[in-house]
Structure 1
Amino acid sequence: MDNQSPASQPQPKFQSFAEFYPYYLQEHSNLTCRRLHFVGTALVITLLITALISGNLMLLWTLPVAGYGFAWVGHFFFEHNRPATFKNPFYSLWGDFVMFKDILTGNIAR
């Protein structure tokens, strides 16, 4: 019997985003976690557009707090796993936006 918790097990290596995305979705199976990611990503998009339109580039400093804040609450309190950001930062960021699109288009449950 394996005594390791899921959070302590090694993360697989990925050769492409297409390989990574099913794993990413598995790590976001909790509905509340997905919803928090959606809110965080929507806030990031809104802040980015606002910063660019207003010329207030200081708003760009808030992007990581807005995006990761909501996402990490989802992982630590609802999903009970370690965010994929720690091992796959670029694929994970890409996954946030693809999952956002998939939720908007109804391909993933809200």
Structure 2
Amino acid sequence: MHTSFREFYSFYLSEHADRNCRRMHFAGSSLVLVVVGVALGTGDARWLWFAPLVGYGFAWIGHVVFEKNRPATFSHPLYSFVGDWVMYADILRGRVRL
């Protein structure tokens, strides 16, 4: 059991060792931002239904096809959600390689 997000994040990164899995996560998270932008830009909240589909869809495909493990979402949903966005920011900062 993880006692803090910091401890979990180390585990989270170890579950994303495959570069292609990280790329799938990055693509899915980027598409989530596009979907949210379209929803805000058009004023049509129906677009938001696509956010979890692209976000989780790309990530889960990355785990099944490349990483060959079970996404942490199923055992640690909140930490996993936060971990994805922290990893996204770390990729943008160059702390995690794509």
TM bucket, shorter chain:
over 0.9
1:25 aligns to 2:13 (yes or no): yes
Q: 1:99 — aligned with what?
A: 87
Structure with more of its chain in helix, by fraction: 2
**Which 5+ residue runs of structure 2 have no aligned equivalent?**
none
The share of aligned pairs that are identical, in percent, is 51
- 1:15 equivalenced with 2:32 (yes/no): no
Q: Which amino acid aligns with 1:49?
A: G
Number of corresponding residues: 98
- Distance between the aligned counterparts of 1:66 and 1:46, measured in 2? 10
The residue type equivalent to 2:96 in the other structure is I
| RMSD, matched Cα | 0.7
* 1:28-61 CA distance string (max 9 Å, x none): 0000000000000001111112212211100111
1:84 match: 72
The answer to whether 1:46 aligns with 2:22 is no
Name the TM-score, length of structure 2 as normaliser: 0.96
Q: Which has the larger radius of gyration?
A: 1
Runs of 4+ aligned residues of structure 1 deviating over 6 Å after TM superposition are none
